Structure 1
Amino acid sequence: MRRLVALYLLQRRLWRILRPRTRGVKVMLFDEAGAVLLVRHTYGRTDQYLLPGGGIRPFEQPAKAAAREMREELGCGLADLVFVSTHISTSEGKRDTVHLFRARVDGAVRADGVEVAEARFFALDALPGGVSPATLRRIDEYRGVRAVSEAW
């Protein structure tokens, strides 16, 4: 675990210098009751709840990346996957294009323990403290109480 954190910090320093272009996905994953899945990672801001997601491999389509990331990190499939929007993030020092999707969970959710420390569903009107500002923006956009912004 310490090694993963050290590698993450080194990667962030390199990103600030090199400013690479990356592509990623995030998924607003809902259960049958309409609760949204939020995760806490084992690296970075481990105190924050985020939408699950990850990187897009070279030549991989964003929808395929979304399904792969949910399988790898949460052990579940996706039903009714729908593209929502594209956003730009520069918060980690890189130039990241984030493709946001919405889906229903298919199967049991289990945090992998390697990248994801915790994965829980929350009612939209009962979110926990510590939700990242970007995640709150996406949820507000979904609920229609905020206009969609290009910035992540």
Structure 2
Amino acid sequence: MDDHSEPRWTAIGRSVAYDGRVRLVEHTVLLPDGSQTSYEVDESVPFSVATLVVDGSDVLLSRQYRYAIDRWIYDLPGGGGQPDETPLAAAQRELEEELGIVPDDLRHLHTFFMNPGRAAWPTHLFISRAGFTWARPDASDPAEQVALARMPLVELDALISQGVIVDPPLVVARALAAATGHLPPLRAAGTR
């Protein structure tokens, strides 16, 4: 619930502090007490997308190296949206680029903000449960080495409960798929 009676900051200026793979914008703001400060906001993309692909009792995930944490992780296929595309179109594009699949049905699951303290864009989660056709993945970005990983849902649940899964959209999508009846409840490691 958004209560407009709570004090807010007032933007009085902005300038690009850095523009590379990440775009940081320095906002000059007036705080409710009247003081002025600057605040950097990540405005790299207009939005991001991620899709939970369910294929029978398995999920199809991305397996890729993440330099910032220096490890290979399982995550959801997805990425940043372009200014001229819808979240649905971006999710379809990312599935084809990263996993080489074209979903027969793609449904919006939820929208959340991954880092509302520093990033301005929403993350749109989708779910695909109705099958897909195979396409050719796009390997045009050498910094993005993505492999498809098929995993039984029970194994995913075990890895989440063990803390092995660290990708926020994957954890959020799994929990929301259970909460909305798309998937059974999350099972802790060692339970059936």
User: TM-score, normalized by length of structure 1?
Assistant: 0.71
Q: Please name the residue that 2:165 is paired with.
A: 131
Which shows bigger deviation, 65-74 or 41-50?
41-50
State the shift of 1:121 in Å.
1.4
Q: Secondary structure at the match of 1:125?
A: helix
Q: Size of the alignment, in residue pairs?
A: 136
Q: Please name the residue that 2:177 is paired with.
A: 142
Q: Please name the residue that 1:106 is paired with.
A: 133
Q: Secondary structure at the match of 1:58?
A: coil
Structure 2 gap segments, 5+ residues each: 1-19, 26-38, 180-184, 187-192
Q: Please name the residue that 1:68 is paired with.
A: 93
Counterpart-to-counterpart distance in 1, 2:150 and 2:138: 12
Looking at CA atoms only, which structure, 1 or 2, has the larger radius of gyration?
2
Counterpart-to-counterpart distance in 2, 1:111 and 1:126: 28
User: TM-score, normalized by length of structure 2?
Assistant: 0.58
State the shift of 1:66 in Å.
0.8
Taking only aligned residues, the RMSD between alpha carbons, in angstroms, comes to 3.1
Percentage of matched positions with identical amino acids? 26
Q: Which has the higher strand share?
A: 2
Bigger RCO (CA 8 Å, 6+ sep): 1
Q: Secondary structure at the match of 1:120?
A: strand
State the shift of 1:111 in Å.
7.9
